[in-house]
Chains A and B, each alone.
Chain A
Amino acid sequence: MKPSLALSLMARESRGSAGKVVFFLACLSVGVAAVVAVAGLASGVDRGLRREARSLLAGDVVVRSMKPMPQDVVASIDRWVAAHPGSASTPLLEMATVVTTPRGDAVTSSLVELKAVGPGWPFYGNVETEPALPLQDLLAGEGVLVAPDLAKKLDLREGSRLDIGGKPFTVRGRIVSEPDRLGVGIDLGPRLLVSRATLATTGLDTFGSRVDRKVLIKLPDDAQPHEAEDLEKSLEAGLKPDSAVRVETYVDAQPGLRDRFKNATRFLGLVALVSLVLGGIGVAETVRAWLASRLDAIAVLKCLGLRPREVVALYAGETAILGFLGSALGALMGTAVLAVAPRLLADVLPAVPIDAFSPAAILRGLLLGTGIAVLFSVAPLSSLRLVPPLRVLRRDAEPLKAGKLARLSVTLVLIAGVFAAAWIQSDSPRMAAGFAGGMIAATAILAGAAWLTTRAVERVARGRLKVTLRQGLAAAARPGAGTLPAITALGLGVLVVVGMLLVQRGVMASLRADRPEEAPNLFLVDMKAGEWPRVESILRDAGATSVRFAPIVTARLSSVDGVSAADLAARHMKEGRSRWILTREQNITYMRELPKDNEILAGSLWSDPGKNEISIEQEYAQDLGAKLGSKVVFDVQGVPIEMTVTSLRKVGWRSFGINFFLVAEPGVLDEAPQRRVAAAKLPDAAEQGVQDRIAAEFPTVVVLRVRDIVEKVAKLLDRIGLGIRILGGFAIAAGIAILAGAVGASASRRGREVALLKTLGATRAGVVSIFSVEFALLGLVAGIIGTVGGGVLAWAVITKGMELPWTWRPAVMLLAPLGAVVLSVLAGITASAGALRKRPIEVLRAE
Chain B
Amino acid sequence: MLTILDRIDLSIAPGEFVAVLGPSGSGKSTLLALMAGLDRPTSGVVRLDGRPIQDLSEDALARLRRDTIGFVFQSFQLLGNLTAQENVLLPLELAGRSDARSRADTLLATVGLAERGHHYPSQLSGGEQQRVALARAFGPRPPILLADEPTGNLDRATGKIVLDTLEQLRIENGTTLVLVTHDPDVARLADRRIHLVDGRIDREERTVAERVP
B93 and A5 contact, CB distance less than 8 A = yes
Q: Are B79 and A300 in contact (CB under 8 A)?
A: yes
Q: Which of A8-16, A324-332, A484-492, A609-617 sits within the interface?
A: A8-16
Interface positions, chain A 382-398, Cβ under 8 Å from B, are 385, 388-390, 392-394
Q: Is the CB of A390 within 8 A of B39?
A: yes
- Note all chain B residues with C-beta closer than 8 A to A310: 62
Inter-subunit contact B91/A304 (CB<8 Å): yes
Given the known inter-chain contacts A2-B96, A390-B39, A392-B73, please indicate yes or no for A307 contacting B81, CB distance below 8 A: no
Does B39 lie within 8 Å of A307, measured CB to CB?
no
Known: A390-B39, A392-B73. A304 touches B86 (CB 8 A): no
Name the distance in Å between B73's Cβ and chain A's nearest Cβ: 6
CB distance from A665 to the nearest CB of B (A): 86
Could you tell me if B63 and A390 are in contact, using CB atoms closer than 8 angstroms? Answer: no
Contact B62 A305 (CB under 8 A): yes
- CB <8 Å contact, A393 and B38: yes
A176 CB, min distance to chain B CBs, angstroms: 64
Taking a contact as CB atoms under 8 Å apart, the answer to whether B29 and A394 are in contact is: yes
B33 and A13 within 8 A (CB): no
Residues of B within 8 A of A308 (CB): 58-59, 62
Residue in chain B with minimal CB distance to A304: B91
Is B16 close to A, CB under 8 A? no
Closest residue of chain A to B60 (Cβ to Cβ) is A307
Q: Which of A13, A306, A390, A394 contacts B62 (CB 8 A)?
A: A306
List, in ascending order, chain B residues with CB within 8 A of A260's CB. Answer: none
Given contacts A390-B39, A393-B32, A12 and B86 within 8 Å (CB-CB): yes
Is B109's CB within 8 Å of the partner chain A?
Answer: no
Given contacts A304-B65, A305-B63, A305-B95, A296 and B81 within 8 Å (CB-CB): no
- For residue B17, CB closer than 8 A to chain A, the reply is no
Task: Name the residue in A301, A305, A306 with the highest tally of chain B Cβ atoms < 10 Å from its Cβ.
Answer: A305
Q: How far is the CB of A292 from chain B (nearest CB, A)?
A: 15
Whether A303 and B71, one on each chain, are in contact in the complex, defined by CB atoms closer than 8 angstroms, is: yes
Q: Does A1 interact with chain B (Cβ within 8 Å)?
A: yes
Given the known interface contacts A393-B32, A393-B73, the answer about A16 and B59 at a Cβ–Cβ threshold of 8 Å is no
Size band of the A side of the interface?
20 to 34
Contact with A along B89-100 (1 / 0, CB 8 A): 011011110000
Contact between A306 and B33, CB atoms less than 8 A apart = no
Residue of B nearest to A389 (CB): B38
B67 interfacial contact with A, CB 8 Å: yes
- A392-B38, A392-B71 known; A303 and B65 CB under 8 Å? yes
A contact residues around B67 at 8 Å (CB): 305
- Chain A CB count within 10 A is highest, among B32, B59, B65, B67, for B65
Docked-complex contact A302 and B62, CB < 8 angstroms: yes
State the Cβ distance, A632 to closest chain B Cβ, in Å: 78
CA distance in complex: A570, B126 (Å): 88
Q: Which A residues touch B114, using CB under 8 A?
A: none
CA distance A303 to B73 in the complex (A): 11
The 8 A CB mask of B52-92 against A (1 = contact, 0 = none) is 00000011001101110001010001011110001000110
Question: A257 contacts the other chain (Cβ, under 8 Å)?
Answer: no
B80 close to A297 (CB less than 8 A): yes
State in angstroms the CA–CA spacing of A578 and B39 once bound together.
71
In the bound assembly, the distance between CA atoms of A647 and B94 in angstroms comes to: 85
Q: Say yes or no: is B148 at the interface (Cβ < 8 Å to chain A).
A: yes
Residue from the set A305, A306, A393 with the largest chain B CB neighbour count within 10 Å: A393
Question: Within the assembled complex, what's the spacing in Å between the Cα atoms of A389 and B73?
Answer: 13
With a cutoff of 8 Å between Cβ atoms, the chain B residues found around residue A15 in the complex are 81-82
Q: Is the CB of A303 within 8 A of B93?
A: no
Q: Roughly how many angstroms separate A301 CA and B66 CA in the complex, as a whole number?
A: 10
User: With A and B bound together, what is the CA distance between A12 and B82 in angstroms?
Assistant: 6
Which residues of A in the span 241-297 have a Cβ within 8 Å of any Cβ on B? 296-297
Q: Within 8 Å of chain B (Cβ to Cβ): is A574?
A: no
With A2-B96, A296-B77 in contact, is A307–B62 under 8 Å at CB?
yes
**Cα-based distance from A307 to B65 in the complex (angstroms):** 10
Q: Which of B38, B66, B67 has the most CB of A within 10 A?
A: B38
Partner of A13, one of B63, B81, B91: B81
Complex CA distance for A308 and B62, rounded to whole angstroms: 8
Determine whether the beta carbon of B81 is less than 8 Å from that of A16.
yes
A309 CA / B57 CA spacing, docked (Å): 12
How many angstroms between the C-alpha atoms of A296 and B81 in the bound complex?
Answer: 12
Instruction: With both chains docked as a complex, state the minimum distance between the C-beta of B101 and any C-beta of chain A, in angstroms.
Output: 12
Q: Report B-chain residues with C-beta under 8 Å of the C-beta of A302.
A: 62, 65
Interface pair A1/B81, CB less than 8 Å apart? no
Partner of B77, one of A12, A14, A300: A300
A402 to nearest B CB, angstroms?
A: 15
Contact of B148 among A8, A13, A393 (CB under 8 A): A393
Residue of B nearest to A395 (CB): B75
- Can you list 7 A-B pairs, Cβ within 8 angstroms, ordered by A? A8-B93, A15-B81, A297-B79, A300-B77, A392-B73, A392-B77, A393-B33
Would you list the 6 A-B pairs with minimal beta carbon distance, nearest first?
A305-B66, A15-B81, A307-B62, A390-B38, A307-B59, A16-B81
Besides the known contacts A390-B39, A393-B73, 9 further A-B residue pairs in the complex with CB atoms under 8 A apart: A12-B79, A12-B82, A13-B81, A300-B77, A304-B91, A307-B58, A385-B58, A393-B29, A393-B32
